[in-house]
Chains A and B, each alone.
Chain A
Amino acid sequence: MDLALQLLFTGFGIGAVYALVALGFVLIFRATNVVNFAQGEFSMVAAYLMVVCAVDLELPYWLSFLIALAGMALLGIVFNLGVYYPLRNRSFLPVIIATIGASIFLSNAVLALYGPQPQALQGWFDTPGIQAGPVYLDSQYLLIIGVTLLLVLFQYWFFEHTLLGKKMQATSQDKEMASLLGIKVSSMIMLTFVYSAVLGGIAGILVAPVLFVSIQMGSTIALKAFAATIIGGFGDVTGAIIGGLALGIIETFGAAYISVPYKDGFAFLVLIAFLVFRPQGLFGERVAEKA
């Protein structure tokens, strides 16, 4: 039982990381119908920005955090203008490839600028964790779970209860109609990319103290987050969260009770099962093509 509780906590923790990154995927997908293969690299770049500010330049933690997020907002803008916008009217395949190219560019640009050595980043709290009975609660994981919850609440409030949020929703559901209603679609999409980049950045900065900062840190998470998005239902934000948490738990329990080396395989097996039997995921809508 103690074993299971500990696994549950860790599963939630790593699941929350997937959920955070999945949020970024879903938002961009809903607004632009594009899967962003560079989403993981957003997390990685933000983590490196944190390292540069907080470790190399020794700026205060909160200041470094803000600078890193500002950098991510800038990256979101550049990404939209450079990668998505010029290809927005083409089919999905060129865009997928362009985002893959962007992911290669980002990870190697960071490699060229910073070097290949993994870096350590301090966590937010000084105490590494709390022992709650038989379960050890890593403080950074607690923070991740907490922030994910906050972000979900914030997102719900933002999208459902503010005009700007509703405009963004409208754009993601029907671009043409939204523009006919006077919504500036290109601004909404820009905003979506900026928000997604910042989300990815937050995920990266939160995760860095636990997983360390390395060039590959983004890509390993992103693929799983993408899987989580599909399991949850590709258009649905709630689904992404639940998908992420579910994936984290499936993985952790699968590793403990079935096989550690094949841990990654469970995620993909579950994904294939969903894709074959229930492609709309847990919460998504069936999409039918208009004849």
Chain B
Amino acid sequence: MRLTRRAFSTSLASLCAMPALIGRASAQTATIKIGMVAPVTGPAAESGRYAQIGAKLAVEAVNKAGGVLGKPVELLVEDDQTTNPGVVLAFSKLAAQSDIIGFLGPIRSTQVHALAPDALKLAKPVMIGGTDPNLTHMGNPWLFRCRPNDSYSGSVIADFGINTIGKKKWAIVHSTDAFGTAGGKALAGALDKAGATIALDQGYTNQSQDFTPVVLAVKQSGADILGSYFTFENDNGIFARQLRQLGVTIPYIGSASITNATALKLAGPALYGTYGVADYAEESSDAAKAYGKLYRDTAKVAADNQSSWTYDAVNVLALGINKAGSTEPGKIRDAILSIKGYPGAEGEYNFDANGDGLHGYNVVKNEKGIMVFDKHIESKD
């Protein structure tokens, strides 16, 4: 008699079914449930931690203001392990709970792509933080973006560099992952449209350890202004340091990571005087200031975009449900899309038909280690 693996796997399968069955047997609750997939483990664990803090602050705020449809909001978080299969599993685990009204999705665009088919099937609203422009242009009506996408960051960097700083010969440095490649493309496109010259378009692999070749390429290109899309703060820090060491002093506008607390701490003086486009800038609006204070009181450090978008996402979702007056997904969708002029921490939300809530970026300047708000540029597209 052989112990066949079929017997083994089928019994294991039934074992797996247990938690799901038990989960569903929970009694009728008097809360409005929102599901959140976040990287609790894996390379993006840090970002996941901030995301959770932001979301939880929003839940408290919403509940203090009376909750949603008269009931308190409850947040359920599942770890997506920073992997694609992981986010699918985390999302489908939450999706199995039919009493979850809406979801907070990932900030990584590849992970959003991974769960998109399931989101489409489930037909419930998912608030996302990924900035790949395609996410709201692929025919999925259930994704609502609470950060301005990369086509906007590109055009804002270009706009600020050309019109405010006044330089037209650009060097672009970007990471070769999904975020960096999309961002680099967006910036290059915006520059082309504005008639500027691209002297260098240089990709690099994440966790590069040494950026001398890149810095020298920038130097050699003769560019008089630099735009960058860095994914990881340690890469950004090493790059900035080597940039200064090798004597490159041209104006430098970076994507949001250049403004993050970690980057500032790591790179120190190397980043003084640089600009960043940040979806979250504390001085950019009253709502941003309020959020900044709230976050600092709780977390003891300054807020950044890794938490502000989830804060906004919960608030927007709550607003949508309240506006719809029901938990029916179709009505919530219409309600969210009709939100105009909502003052979020990231900016003023005016949802367009694709589900993009924000269309501009803040430009901030690093004044000796303090991020100072310069201006907000709303994209014309």
Contact = CB atoms under 8 A, between A and B. Distances in A.
A145 to B, nearest CB: 14
Q: Which of A14, A220, A252, A261 gathers the greatest number of chain B CB atoms within 10 Å?
A: A261
Interface in A226-263: 251-252, 255-256, 260-261, 263
B246 A6 contact: yes
B43 interface: yes
Given A138-B245, A211-B238, A264-B205, A120 B268 contact: yes
B374 to A, nearest CB: 26
A13 B204 CA distance: 19
A3 interface: yes
A14 B262 contact: no
Interface string B189-213: 0000000000000111101111011
A221 interface: yes
Contacts of A222: none
A220 B234 CA distance: 13
Contacts of A80: none
Contacts of B43: 216
A46 to B, nearest CB: 17
B262 A117 contact: yes
A101 interface: no
Contacts of B262: 117-118
Nearest to A216: B207
Nearest to B233: A118
B213 A255 contact: yes
B46 interface: yes
A260 B214 contact: yes
B154 to A, nearest CB: 20
B203 A260 contact: yes
Interface residues of A, number: 32
B213 A211 contact: no
B213 A7 contact: yes
Contacts of A94: none
Given A120-B266, A129-B245, A256-B217, A10 B210 contact: yes
A261 B205 CA distance: 5
B45 interface: yes
Contacts of B46: 115-117
Interface residues of B, number: 31
A136 B205 contact: no
Given A116-B46, A118-B266, A260 B210 contact: no
Contacts of B210: 10, 13-14, 251-252
Given A220-B207, A263-B205, A252 B213 contact: yes
Interface in B41-66: 43, 45-46, 49
A214 interface: yes
Given A7-B212, A14-B209, A214-B234, A136 B266 contact: no
Contacts of B302: none
Nearest to A255: B213
B212 A118 contact: no
Contacts of A117: 46, 262
Given A116-B45, A136-B247, A212-B238, A260 B207 contact: no
A66 interface: no
Interface in B153-212: 176, 202-205, 207-210, 212
A52 interface: no
B204 A212 contact: no
A212 B212 contact: no
Contacts of A263: 204-205, 208, 213
Contacts of B49: 115-116
B245 A136 contact: yes
Interface in B207-259: 207-210, 212-214, 216-217, 220, 233-234, 237-238, 241, 245-247
Contacts of A82: none
B265 interface: yes
Contacts of B238: 210-212
Contact of A212 (B202, B208, B234): B234
A3 B234 contact: no
Given A6-B246, A116-B49, A118-B234, 8 more contacts: A136-B245, A136-B246, A211-B209, A260-B203, A261-B176, A261-B204, A263-B204, A263-B205
Closest 5 CB pairs of A and B: A116-B46, A256-B213, A255-B213, A10-B212, A116-B45
14 contacts: A111-B45, A120-B265, A136-B247, A138-B245, A211-B209, A211-B238, A212-B234, A214-B234, A252-B213, A256-B212, A256-B213, A260-B203, A261-B203, A263-B204
